[in-house]
Amino acid sequence: MAGYAKVSSKGQITLSAELRKRLNIEPGTYLSVVADGEGVYLTPVKESIAQLRGAVAVDSPQDFRQIRHKTMEEVISVDAEGS
């Protein structure tokens, strides 16, 4: 399916209703944008990190620096075991 889209002064494009319906693109859908040579490919993203928000219940404030540090230690440990 081919078509045309005009870029607005804000850098936005509008996809045709037919294309949005065919690819199940709804308002709020994230698109992966890949530049290849002189072309650009837009692909709907099935899942994103934003969609995971609220998937894990937390009952208190979280220390993300501590969580990140522990995760990094575990990754280094796994890498060292594999060497």
Calpha distance 59→76 (Å, rounded): 29
Low-confidence ranges of the chain (pLDDT < 50): none
Q: Tokens at residue 6, please?
A: 């005009």
Q: Tokens at residue 27, please?
A: 């308002």
Calpha distance 82→80 (Å, rounded): 5
What confidence score (pLDDT) does residue 82 get? 66
Calpha distance 53→49 (Å, rounded): 7
DSSP reduced 3-state for 51: helix
**In residues, how long is the chain?**
83
What confidence score (pLDDT) does residue 8 get? 95
What confidence score (pLDDT) does residue 10 get? 95
What confidence score (pLDDT) does residue 62 get? 85
pTM, whole model, 2 decimals? 0.49
